[in-house]
Structure 1
Amino acid sequence: MRIKDVEAITGLSMKSIRLYEAPVCIGIDLGTTTISSVVICPETGKTYGVYTISNSTNITSARNEEKMQDAALLLERAGKLLDFLIDKFSPIAAIGVTGQMHGIVYSDAELNVLSPLYTWQDQRASTEYCKNLQRQTRYRVAPGYGLATHIFLSQISGLPRGSVYLSTIMDLFAARLCGLERLISHASNAASLGFFDLRRGCFETKVLEKCGVEPKILPVVTVENEVIGKYRDIPVAVAIGDNQASFLGAIKEQESSALANFGTGSQISLVTDDARDMANWGGEIEARPFIDGRYLLCGSVLCGGRAYAIIERFFRAYAVACGLPDSEQYEVLNRLAEKGVESGNVLKVRTTFSGTRNDSSVRGEITGIGEDNFTPEALAAGCLYGMAGELYEIFRKIGSLHIEKLVASGNAVRENRALRRALSEVFKIPVFIPQYGEEAARGAAIFAAAAKSGEPARDIAARCVTYECNNR
């Protein structure tokens, strides 16, 4: 377990915390590559712990389009982390849960795991398959959306025997913690599966029935910020999507800020009161349920931090060919990128290496090559500007004149000053970096605190979100 512990982060002693502070809230994030948690005091806004362990549950498949994780092992690892935190920080006021959206896992009537987690990266329901679904139903879904995956599996007789329910992994985790008999899904999670009516806050069951989906397999949906049960006598809030949790855990001022999140993919998000028609945006932008009757406008890029990882892999392969150890090259790559950004003479890199939500066949490009810039530093810097530019094009389409600051989250931006500069130059607004990281877990803790206390989540976020001193 890799731990960024309380004393190292805050300088506070455990003795002073337990003697003088109010109860804390725990947020846990079942992410694609890591399982993370943040411990906060919602009354004072202080952070007492940031904890991260490796997910390490990927299942190898001979078929490139299949992306799965061992759901039972993932739940076990998350449960052990949660128990560790409860024992360390008790008394706990509430527990919040979030995790990777879009993917699905099957369970039986007792909520026992019956399948792997088919993740958001799964492509067995291909782009063409999803386009056919859209023609049949008029609902846009993309590869990796849980209900598209489910419809595909049902048509090839690929459903696990004994399946009673399907859900996101975090909905199943929360339900099992509370000993529920039926899965409950917040609208932020339910909508990520597809075939969801935003305005009514429910699945389109009639449309799904025409596709062969029985409504009883779906979780019960809530749009409320609510406690759904208890674990070890601690209130547990309904799980929320990691996009919404990241926004809540990274943004102090919702009306004037946008969030650029870099993980394996990347996203640009801002809050709105209007779930607008997406038709004029070509499917690149989604309105997603948020909290308190509001929505997030979100544009997603499939190859965010992964684009930089592909460049790193290129340089690592060269180093190995030269007889050097097979080790990460990010430190060298970051230095090269900074040099390239300073030079101002970078390559033009289109970072659609994994396609787009609309077309998985699209590939990236490297152009503008000349004698003076065909260098490692120009390629590294060009990749960062390409990552920033792909998000900015979506941001521009949304129409965002009221946005005054960009909050950038994720390890890819936290550990890379050159990417921060590229974002600032491309977006032409100040860039702020959350102080502690693991924004989704923080947002889950904030959401749980609001569910327990009844205080608006945005007011708690204003106390609990802080930024690094040197933001730009």
Structure 2
Amino acid sequence: MYLAGIDIGTTSICLIVTNAEDGRVVRMVSAKNDADMPSKQSWERTQQADRVVQLVQSLIEECRDDWEEVRAIGISCQMHGVLYVSKEGRAVSPLVTWQDGRGELLLESGRSYATALSELTGFDLHTGYGLVTHFYLTKEGNLPIGAVKLCTIGDYVAMQLCDEKTPRIDSSNAASIGLFTLPNRQFDKDKLIAAGMDAEFLPELVDPNTVAGDTADGKKVLWAIGDNQASFLGAVPSFQGTLLVNIGTGSQVSVYSPAYIESPHLETRPFMDGGYLLVGASLSGGKSYELLEQFFREVCRTFGLLDDRSFYETMNRLAEESLIESVPTLKVGTQFYGTREHPHRTGSIEGISPNNFNPQQLIVGFLHGILDELDGFTKCLPAELLEPLTTLAVSGNGIRKNRAMQQMARIKWRLPLMFPRVKEEAAFGASVHAAVGSGLYSNYAEALQKMQGSDSDDR
């Protein structure tokens, strides 16, 4: 008996088929998410929703040899973004993604839309959050014609797979679009209305593990979950005692709590089992390392030495070699793209001396800077969550492919490293979610015991 997990990312879409009994991956396929829509506005980031559906359907077709044995489909999706649908359940707008910048545009008062909505409601909101987008469109009088509901791209895909007309939303995605209260897990409709928005556009909240419907060939489809929660579910051997460090384009640290907890500089996000994730999210990560690689390429291009090879392999090798040296490394603040709390913050390089002003130490300084920001989030964890940690689970290509960063992480957190056996953690987590939601397993602990395997230390 098989399960399918679909992860709808901003740049790629992945589908895996897993064996429900042992979690073995039977098939893994992926495609570039080419649904981006051109725009004359530098701040606009949108994707064509029906193109995303087409890409998912084409991946399902690639798996047709194994598809007959699939019992249920779980979906993970990029968080924060929204699109609008008609009463017939069809998209009447593009997907406005989490990268969209219209929330930073200014009102006549000189405040940004995101700041104004935060002040009106008391919620901490940022550009790219779905209800900031809804606030902008409402204030500008640009709500899509024929729109009756808003939803996430994951829920829209679920609707199309099972021919459902009305979107619904899981709390993990609902919290990501804003104006969502914890621990009672409800939209604050009163504050939304007071800010001048129509609450009728909100999708109905569903209980965890709710089935959206059945496909034409009889597969159960669950409403989508957020990719952060799905990645945690797909990466850890057990919820408690594990610190998850994910380094991709951005980076995050995530820790599970069975009870609602607030902690400075950390975001508390609802988890599917009724618990919570405490998340420290950085806008840096692999994106900062990419910036350094581009810098080296630009230097070589300026001096006429550039070829078409990637510099990452050489950078990683130089970092490993530098770790055995006693030369003090540069101190690099890698907040080149700002932070959630301070979007206009810039990066920095300190401690330059004749002994360390070289490419090797600059590379090591960048890697330390990426991890230092995440370690700072970890230090904000309350003692009851920090002290029981016994395992450091690492995911994302930013750290999977960088042995120097792995060594630094092991030293920084003083915990043994564990690599999830499935690299597409969010898609795998979606399949584990499908196992519970379809009734194959009674809870996530049982599902993880059967389906999740791990590899310790270096990979």
Tell me which stretches of 4 or more aligned residues in structure 1 moved more than 6 Å. Answer: none
Q: Partner of 1:76 in structure 2?
A: 54
Letter matched to residue 437 of structure 2: A
- Cα 1:264–1:159 shift into 2, 3 Å: farther
Q: Partner of 1:330 in structure 2?
A: 312
Unmatched runs of 5 consecutive residues or more in structure 1: 1-22
**What TM-score does the superposition give when structure 1 sets the normalisation length?**
0.90
Q: Between the two proteins, what is the percent identity of the paired residues? A: 36
Q: Partner of 2:388 in structure 1?
A: 402
Query: Is the 1:316–1:327 Cα contact (8 Å) retained in structure 2?
Result: no
Q: Partner of 2:171 in structure 1?
A: 187
For residue 328 of structure 1, report the CA deviation from its aligned partner. 2.7
Q: Distance in 1 between matches of 2:63 and 2:405?
A: 33
Q: Partner of 1:445 in structure 2?
A: 431
Query: Is the 2:403–2:458 Cα contact (8 Å) retained in structure 1?
Result: no
Q: Partner of 2:127 in structure 1?
A: 143
Q: Partner of 1:304 in structure 2?
A: 285
Alignment of 1:202-221 (within 5 A): 202-221=186-205
Letter matched to residue 452 of structure 2: V
Residue 366 in structure 1 maps to residue 354 in structure 2: no
Letter matched to residue 49 of structure 2: A
Q: Distance in 2 between matches of 1:51 and 1:152?
A: 37
Bigger mean CA deviation after superposition, 189-198 or 321-330: 321-330
- Secondary structure (helix, strand or coil) at the match of 1:471 reads coil
Q: Distance in 2 between matches of 1:196 and 1:111?
A: 24
Q: Partner of 2:108 in structure 1?
A: none
Alignment of 1:373-412 (within 5 A): 373-399=356-382, 400-412=386-398
Q: Distance in 2 between matches of 1:181 and 1:416?
A: 45
- Secondary structure (helix, strand or coil) at the match of 2:438 reads helix
For residue 452 of structure 1, report the CA deviation from its aligned partner. 1.0
Letter matched to residue 446 of structure 2: D
- Cα 1:139–1:91 shift into 2, 3 Å: same
For residue 421 of structure 1, report the CA deviation from its aligned partner. 1.4
- Alpha-carbon RMSD across the aligned residues, in angstroms, is 1.8
The correspondence for 1:433, drawn from 391, 394, 419, is: 419
Letter matched to residue 432 of structure 1: M
Q: Deviations over 1:362-411 (max 9, x none)?
A: 01111111111111111112111111111110111013111111111011
- Cα 1:73–1:327 shift into 2, 3 Å: farther
Give the number of aligned pairs. Answer: 446
Residue 121 in structure 1 maps to residue 99 in structure 2: yes
For residue 69 of structure 1, report the CA deviation from its aligned partner. 2.4
Q: Distance in 2 between matches of 1:440 and 1:296?
A: 15
Q: Deviations over 1:117-163 (max 9, x none)?
A: 21112222129432332221111112221101210122122322222
Q: Partner of 2:238 in structure 1?
A: 253
Q: Distance in 1 between matches of 2:358 and 2:143?
A: 50
Q: Distance in 2 between matches of 1:37 and 1:275?
A: 32
Letter matched to residue 323 of structure 2: V
The correspondence for 2:445, drawn from 446, 452, 458, is: 458
Unmatched runs of 5 consecutive residues or more in structure 2: 105-110
Query: Is the 1:171–1:239 Cα contact (8 Å) retained in structure 2?
Result: yes
Q: Partner of 1:3 in structure 2?
A: none
Letter matched to residue 391 of structure 1: L
**What TM-score does the superposition give when structure 2 sets the normalisation length?**
0.93
Alignment of 1:277-316 (within 5 A): 277-278=262-263, 281=264, 284-316=265-297
Residue 38 in structure 1 maps to residue 16 in structure 2: yes
Bigger mean CA deviation after superposition, 157-166 or 235-244: 157-166
- Secondary structure (helix, strand or coil) at the match of 1:58 reads coil
Letter matched to residue 319 of structure 1: C
The correspondence for 1:177, drawn from 137, 161, 168, is: 161
Q: Partner of 1:132 in structure 2?
A: 116
Residue 85 in structure 1 maps to residue 51 in structure 2: no
Q: Distance in 1 between matches of 2:237 and 2:432?
A: 12
Letter matched to residue 39 of structure 1: V
Q: Distance in 2 between matches of 1:255 and 1:93?
A: 29
- Cα 1:369–1:64 shift into 2, 3 Å: farther
Residue 265 in structure 1 maps to residue 247 in structure 2: no
Q: Partner of 2:45 in structure 1?
A: 67
